[in-house]
């Protein structure tokens, strides 16, 4: 219903205005008209009452649910999209920025994700301030993992991209949750540019990481010692000049070796393949006549005295315990007169 005023204008009966006044509580006449005080409730409370909205809530972990009366207020103020909001705790002054999923909360209430409540120190039933906030496109953010376990993430870039796509804005002081491969990590926002609260939707955001909380730099001296098997590291010649290259190498310590292990060239034994009566290299065959009727043996070639010693002393012949007998000799053995058998 409406009534006509004396100046001819049509006045509304004030139903919508009355709904707005029921939810709007202006703290100061100079405050923005979009600032309101709402009762804070957890997001799980709304999910329990509206199971169909569970998937929508999970896909928007950084957004809140506002009452329908706040939507009427925004429409009346001709606010430009996209809509971002600054929510704060009047008791401690902590604040952050977020987006909105839907305007379906009960009158005078707002449903907030648990991690935002933890950041602001809010509990169920506490009053919080909500105001429309115009944010700039973000360019830079510096994040700090809250535990060294984040260092075990094999691909932190993918982990951040898959989570931050569900965030529309971040603020300095936020501790945002990052889920990756079934594990939950918490990252604190230390710095953002160009302002302390930025919009990261459709932005080319550069991210830098600070050392995780609890991270201790490794001892460089110990690392060098381990890498060099306990030996001091050899530094390069930093004063090198062209034509005077020198290498600082530790001198190898010679190991004591016995004379028996020294290299002796041409000391091995060679044999020709396919012959059983082969005489080792450096030896000659002793016939039965020369050996005094004993089986033929192999003696080392040398002076005449060496041959005599090898014939008279069988014990000196130690050639792989082989004794070559005349009956196993080849048909090319010579007789005493020089003829071939």
Give the model confidence (pLDDT) of 261-284 as tens digits. 566 666 666 655 555 555 555 555
More confident residue, 170 or 338: 170
How confident is the model at residue 109, as a pLDDT?
Answer: 95
> By three-state DSSP, how is residue 207 classified?
strand
Where does CATH 2.40.40.50 sit in the chain?
13-134
Q: Which of 11-25, 38-52, 55-69 has the lowest mean pLDDT?
A: 11-25
Distance CA 51, CA 49 (A): 6
More confident residue, 245 or 67: 67
Give the model confidence (pLDDT) of 195-245 as tens digits. 999 999 988 999 999 999 998 887 655 555 555 555 666 667 677 677 655
Strand ranges (E), 20-168: 36-42, 63-67, 84-88, 95-105, 109-112, 127-133, 136-137, 140-145
Tell me if the domain spanning 13-134 has CATH number 3.30.590.10: no
List phi, psi (to 5°) of 112: -125, 140
The whole-angstrom distance between residue 266's C-alpha and the CA centroid of its chain comes to 58
Distance CA 220, CA 338 (A): 83
How confident is the model at residue 304, as a pLDDT?
Answer: 45
Q: Tokens at residue 311, please?
A: 């014939």
How confident is the model at residue 154, as a pLDDT?
Answer: 87
How confident is the model at residue 240, as a pLDDT?
Answer: 66
Query: Residue 96 in contact with residue 87, Cβ under 8 Å?
Result: yes
Task: Give the pLDDT mean for 57-71.
Answer: 93
How confident is the model at residue 269, as a pLDDT?
Answer: 63
Percent of the chain with pLDDT over 70: 55
Give the model confidence (pLDDT) of 157-175 as tens digits. 888 988 999 999 999 999 9
Task: Give the pLDDT mean for 59-64.
Answer: 92
Residue 8 in this model has a pLDDT that exceeds 90: no
Give the model confidence (pLDDT) of 106-144 as tens digits. 999 999 999 999 999 999 999 999 999 999 999 999 999
Question: 216-247: buried (b, 16+ CB within 10 Å) or exposed (e) per residue?
Answer: eeeeeeeeeeeeeeeeeeeeeeeeeeeeeeee
pLDDT band at 150 (very low <50, low <70, confident <90, very high): very high
Where does CATH 3.10.330.10 sit in the chain?
137-209
DSSP 15-54: HHHHHHHHH---S-TTS-TT-EEEEEEEHHHHHHH-GGGH
The pTM (predicted TM-score) of the whole model is 0.57
Which strand ranges, in their side-by-side order, compose the sheet holding 136-137? 136-137, 197-199, 169-171
Residue 249 in this model has a pLDDT that exceeds 80: no
Distance CA 89, CA 40 (A): 10
The DSSP code for 129 is E
How confident is the model at residue 289, as a pLDDT?
Answer: 56
How confident is the model at residue 77, as a pLDDT?
Answer: 85
Whole-number average pLDDT of the chain: 74
Residue 23 in this model has a pLDDT that exceeds 50: no
Distance CA 127, CA 121 (A): 11
More confident residue, 238 or 80: 80
Distance CA 112, CA 42 (A): 5
pLDDT band at 11 (very low <50, low <70, confident <90, very high): very low
Tell me if the domain spanning 137-209 has CATH number 3.40.50.300: no
């Amino acid at each position: 219903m409406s009534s006509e005023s004396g100046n001819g204008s049509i006045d509304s009966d004030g139903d919508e205005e009355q709904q707005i006044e029921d939810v709007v509580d202006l703290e100061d006449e100079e405050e923005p008209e979009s600032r309101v005080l709402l009762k804070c409730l957890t997001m799980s409370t709304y999910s329990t009452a509206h199971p169909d909205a569970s998937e929508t809530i999970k896909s928007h972990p950084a957004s809140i649910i506002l009452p329908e009366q706040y939507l009427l207020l925004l429409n009346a103020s001709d606010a430009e999209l996209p809509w971002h909001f600054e929510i704060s705790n009047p008791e401690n002054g902590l604040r952050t920025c977020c987006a909105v999923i839907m305007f379906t909360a009960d009158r005078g209430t707002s449903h907030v994700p648990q991690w935002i409540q933890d950041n602001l120190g809010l509990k169920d039933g506490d009053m919080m301030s909500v105001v429309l906030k115009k944010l700039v496109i973000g360019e830079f953010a510096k994040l700090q993992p809250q535990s060294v376990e984040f260092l075990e993430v094999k691909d932190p870039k993918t982990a951040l991209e898959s989570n931050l796509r569900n965030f529309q804005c971040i603020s300095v002081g936020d501790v945002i949750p990052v889920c990756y491969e079934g594990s939950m990590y918490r990252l604190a926002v230390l710095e953002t540019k160009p302002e302390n609260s930025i919009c990261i939707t459709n932005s080319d955001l550069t991210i830098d990481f600070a050392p995780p909380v609890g991270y201790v730099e490794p001892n460089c001296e110990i690392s060098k010692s381990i890498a060099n098997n306990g030996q001091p590291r050899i530094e390069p010649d930093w004063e090198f000049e062209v034509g005077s290259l020198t290498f600082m190498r530790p001198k190898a310590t010679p190991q004591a070796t016995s004379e028996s292990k020294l290299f002796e060239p041409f000391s091995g034994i060679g044999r020709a393949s396919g012959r059983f009566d082969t005489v080792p290299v450096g030896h000659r065959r002793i016939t039965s006549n020369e050996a005094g009727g004993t089986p033929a043996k192999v003696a080392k070639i040398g002076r005449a005295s060496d041959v005599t010693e090898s014939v008279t002393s069988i014990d000196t012949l130690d050639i792989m315990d082989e004794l070559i007998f005349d009956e196993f000799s080849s048909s090319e053995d010579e007789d005493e007169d020089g003829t071939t058998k």
